[in-house]
Structure 1
Amino acid sequence: MRTVVQGGLVIDTAPEVTVREVDVLIEDGRIAAVGPGLAAEGAEVIDATDRIVLPGFVDTHRHLWQTALRGIAVDGDLGMYFERVLGGPGTRYRPEDVAVGNLVGALECLDGGITTVQDYSHVQGSAEHADAAVDALERSGIRAVFGFGPTPLGGGAVDGAGLRRLLGRTSDRIGFAVAAIGPAYVPLETVRADWALADELGLPIVVHISSSELAPTPIAMLRDAGMTRANTLYVHGNNLPDAELKLIAESGASVSVTPLVEARLGLGTAVAGRLRAAGVPISLGIDTVASAAGDMFSVMREVLALGHDTFTAAEVLQQATLNGAQALGLPVGSLAIGNEADLMLLRASDLNLAGGLHDPVATVVTSAHPGNVETVLVGGSPVKQNGRLLTTPPLADLSASAAYLHARND
């Protein structure tokens, strides 16, 4: 199947951010060519006139199952989040609650141009819970890396048998990761078991990281135990000393920063600037809609504001696209030939974007929002057209789930 996205203003992100008036040719779900006047014979044509075309966003840290708990953990710190989200309703999730939370959350991602999400799922009460989560991801049409792990409230290791069972599933768009609790929160013996499981299965590790009473220097602990890995995605790290950040850089690993949630939950001062100074690759995540907005445009604006003169708008856009793809090891995040054709079209003529074509990159980063996203493709296939998702979000089911969870929490 051939598709040509024709006549748009194209922003690409690799090897550097560029803006050109070119076409994008898609063949069999992948980028085949980018250039002016591409032949459209026999291809479906997407008219991108007055549109900005760019790669889909990559959200490298999100708890999709928490969609029905939107806004309940805004006015408090991390302890309140544990109480209101992981405790209480988090302990009562049924498989159907996980299913609708993941589906609506994934559709919210797609609606706002997030085409890939790392879903850190620590609500695994049973095999049925895990199946419900992955089934929902597949139904949504999103590309995802499903992080399978236990709740931090339990303090245990990742269920190896449960993860092996999930790996028996086949999907073109869903990959898997070990979502470990990590050295800041569990004993080293548990950490060793999780890292050994990841090594055995050949999977990446995703882990929240911080300096804690249990592990004041968790990266040094991992290094000394021979457990630093390039295929590790650390999350947050706001209170880590600079020496710890340098160890992450030396290991070849990367960090997902979630600035909106980190600020709301009081996880520490913004860390992106220190990560850059230490040489650590940075990607962006939403984290949880229980505490913050669920769109990448909001996160980009936060990074740009907190970074002051540290980051340019182009660098922030790369963090939301190319860097996320590299952190997850996926061929997305740019329009490089051979990459998966995950992209979005924004209406450049919308009121909040009007007059911004002298610097389209800065305009997208500072002014765009999900309502500007007209079309979204994942693997060359449309998931949103003419401003509407092709899969109808089951909002009544989400409302019923939220009512059940909140009633049990009162």
Structure 2
Amino acid sequence: MSYRALAVTATHPDVIDPYHGIFNARSIRSLCSRGTTVDVVSPRPFAPPLGPYAEYRRIPRIAQTRRYEVHHPRFFYLLPKRLFYGLSGRSYARRVPEYVERTFPVPDLVHAYHVYPDGFGMLEYCDRHDLPLFVAVQGTLINEFSRFSRTVQARIRRTLRESEGVLCVSRALADRVDRICPTATSTVVPIGADPDRFPTGSADRIRRELDLPADETIVLFCGRFTTKKGIDELIDVLPAIDGRDVHVFFVGHDGRRRPALEREIVSHGLTEQTTVHHDLAPLALRRLYAIADVFVLPSHSEGRPTVIYEAMAARTAVIGTDVGGIPEQVADGETGYVVPPKDADRLRDVLCSLCDQPERQRQMGTAGYQRLLEQGWTWDAHAKRLESLHEEAIDA
């Protein structure tokens, strides 16, 4: 069945941040690759003439990717968010649908990659054209629901209630959605990773190119350098790698805890056993996944992290925390280990033990890879699930 979808997402890679919402771009790309026509709108705030956000003026109104155009209409996004998120959502709901009406033919459905402001902002447009609205639930908004104002909470509930489908990346998030809005039509639609994009067959060559010993255990962290991603626990664990045949790669895009991490690395004399990358290119990151023996993500809160799917695709053992959908991804004791969040002592024990067991690393990495395939946690399988739900709604 051929159909036309309007994808709306406040987070999508752009010239300012090429990694912002990259999983949304991959989801859209996977739909396009299966022949779906997708018009893409990724609204951006009006940029002030001066100050740290002035660079957003460089984002063009229309950007071209390899598979689709991305339109960047503007709306007013006011700071601080905790005070003005309601006003920002109202501006989005007024300005973005107006742009859509002027620019695109009416689609068969709207797929919003965030409940708020994307889904809320397109409610009246969908009502006006009698279109099904699908909203994706990825983590932060629902996990932090109680922190929002009553106005924003009411809008989130309304969007969940009125959407044709609420597509959650994990069972844990679907359960949260059901508690927030019992009448929401929620279902689990995982995202994933494609194993053929990770050069695991070239791992030995990549190690030689990076001047890494063949028998050295490579530990990889990939995420924002923030407290919520568990950087403070990793800082506490760092001294334990001193003297071990271990090299830790930290890869992140931003985050206030990066300077603290770098200071601790220097203070413990671990500059030869660690590497910190900021804004590493995707191809270079996939090379690190390919040589990694252990992937570690000690987050305090999550949906189902894409980076864990990527580690599984690269046959890498995973250490994650018992939050959100991570226990749904990591089979504890089989594909890796699940540890309590904010528990640096337990994290240290598990990480050091696994680093000392190369054969166990390989067994867990292989089991994780097989689990990824068996569960259908790939982008093509993700697109097939979306297509099935979309087509069912169009035919109804």
Q: What is the TM-score with the length of structure 2 in the denominator?
A: 0.34
Higher helix share: 2
Pair member with larger Rg = 2
Say which structure is richer in strand: 1
More RCO (CA 8 Å, sep 6+): 1
